[in-house]
Every structure is written in C-alpha cells, then in structure tokens.
Amino acid sequence: MLGKVDFVVLSLVVITNSVHLNSENLSEYPLPLTGLDILDADPFIVGGSAASLGQFPYQAALRTPAGLFFCGGVIISNRWVVSAAHCTINRDLIISFRVVVGTINHSSGGTEFTLSRVVNHPNYNAGTIANDISLTQVAGTFVFSGTVNQVAMGSAFLGGGVNGNVAGWGATATGGQPTTQLRWFQTTSITNADCRNRFNAAGETRAASLVFDHKMCSFTRNGQGFCQGDSGGGFVSNNVVHGIVSWNIPCGRGVPDVYDRISSHRSWINSITGL
C-alpha cells in the first residue's frame, strides 16, 4: 500500500499547481482531493443521509465564478469561513471563487458572496497535507437566520469518544460531479494514537505517518465516512467545530477519516480574524 499512497500525494501536488485562477473553463478547476488513495472511490458521503434545509446552517459551499462547486466550508463569524487549504491553495485571489450559504443544493438557492480576503495556512504542505486549513473573508456580511448561522470553534484538545456530524456535497465518482443535495453522517472521534494504529493495522503505514498532532480522526464503522468533494466541511459537535475535513482513504473502507484540528490552529485563526 505504501507505493499507492505516495502516488496520490504526488498527484495532489501536480493538480493543485495546475489551477488557472482567472479562467472560466470548468475543466481548468480540478476538484480537490480528500484522499490519499483515489482508486476505487465510492460515491459521496458514505453511509449517510440527505440533509434538510436549516439542519446545518453553518455549512458553506465554495464555487468558482462559473458556478462549479469544488469544496465545503464552515461559517465561524458573520464574515469568515474556515475550510481546507488544499481547497483554496492557488485560489487566493479574491476573484477566484465565491462563498454560498443558506442552501442544501450546491448549485442553486442560498446567497452568494464575493470575497474580501483568502488566507491559506503559511505552513500548508501539499506533499504531506499538513496544516490543511484556510480562512476566507466575504466582502459582505452574513445575515444569520434559520438557514445561515455560525458555529463556535473548539479551543480544547478533543480526545476520543465524542460524537459529531459531518456534512458535504461529495462527488458521485472520483473526479466526477458532486451530489446535488447536502448529505451528512454522524461519526465518533478517536485518539490520534488509535488512528495511527488503525492505519498501520490496515497496512497503510504512509497514512499513519501523516496523522500529525495537529490532525484529528474519526471512525464509526466500515461503510461510513466522507469522500472526495467533502473537503473543507467540519466535524461539528454541539454546535462547536473541532475539525476540518482534510483527507482519507476513500471511502468508508474501515479506516479513519482525518481532519485538521481547530484547537491546534486557534492562535493562527485569531491572528488573521481576531476571533
């Protein structure tokens, strides 16, 4: 399994460097990878359910100016959204994409916002997917309602055994189109030590080595997990976001899902947003 993981990490570097920011050609906006292993990916959020409008009011969609959905995000204030750096790297010009909130359909409904600022973590590493977190400030202000609202950010280190929800519009096939309606599943956090042990037990030693201390993991059962296109969404428990969807081995294959840990990045987030 080691060689296969290395191949996809290299592919991530090539793909993210190929983005043409000012183009309206949809083929030039590659869908970001959520996984280290893109072979035989299953469709969308695996083992989940369709979401209802207002069920996840903090969920944002990131779309190109031409309207192509490519990642999710989480509302953390009336102007800021947190997402994954692998979604927004090389898209840090404010004309590169839009933020859409207040909808469960990735391509219609809700309110679209242009951008004021995009900040990727300065230590993001495409080769190891380390520090996979970014911040986007919209040009306007979110009007909070039953369908648009913020979540608090986790400040304490989250251990194992905590239930949380993950929502997203994951692709129906690797490199394909996302699902139309937002989907979600409930999962449970596990410790980083348990996470590494599970990857090692599955023969995924390279993946285990990429579970850094600033990452967190979740696992429920074989047949359930996030998939490609769900990147940038959140692990949210009791209206607190603790993790941002980063990578996995698609999808629902009996190994953990991996997120960037919000509590590990709070100082950096505060330095950018004041939150």
DSSP track, 27-44: GGSPPPP-BS--TTPPPS
- For residue 121, indicate whether it is catalytic: no
pLDDT(4) > 70 = no
Q: What percent of the chain has pLDDT over 70?
A: 77
Domain ranges of the chain: 54-273
In the sheet with 59-63, reading across from the earlier edge strand, the strands are 111-113, 98-101, 59-63, 69-75, 80-83, 134-138, 115-120
Cα-flanking dihedrals φ and ψ of residue 269, to 5°? Answer: -60, -45
Task: Please state the pTM of the whole predicted model.
Answer: 0.84
Q: What is the pLDDT of residue 180?
A: 82
pLDDT(179) > 50 = yes
Give which of 230, 268, 257 is closest to 153, Cα–Cα.
Answer: 268
Q: Which of 37, 42, 83, 132 is catalytic?
A: 132
Q: What is the pLDDT of residue 49?
A: 83
Torsion from C-alpha of 160, 56, 92, 273, nearest 10 degrees: -70
pLDDT(133) > 50 = yes
- For residue 263, indicate whether it is catalytic: no
| Confidence tier at 171 by pLDDT (50, 70, 90) | low
Q: Which of 231, 237, 246, 264 is catalytic?
A: 231
- For residue 132, indicate whether it is catalytic: yes
| Confidence tier at 30 by pLDDT (50, 70, 90) | very low
Q: Which of 83, 86, 246, 264 is catalytic?
A: 86
pLDDT in tens, 215-263: 999 998 765 667 666 899 999 999 999 999 999 887 767 899 999 999 9
Q: CATH topology for 54-273?
A: Thrombin, subunit H (2.40.10)
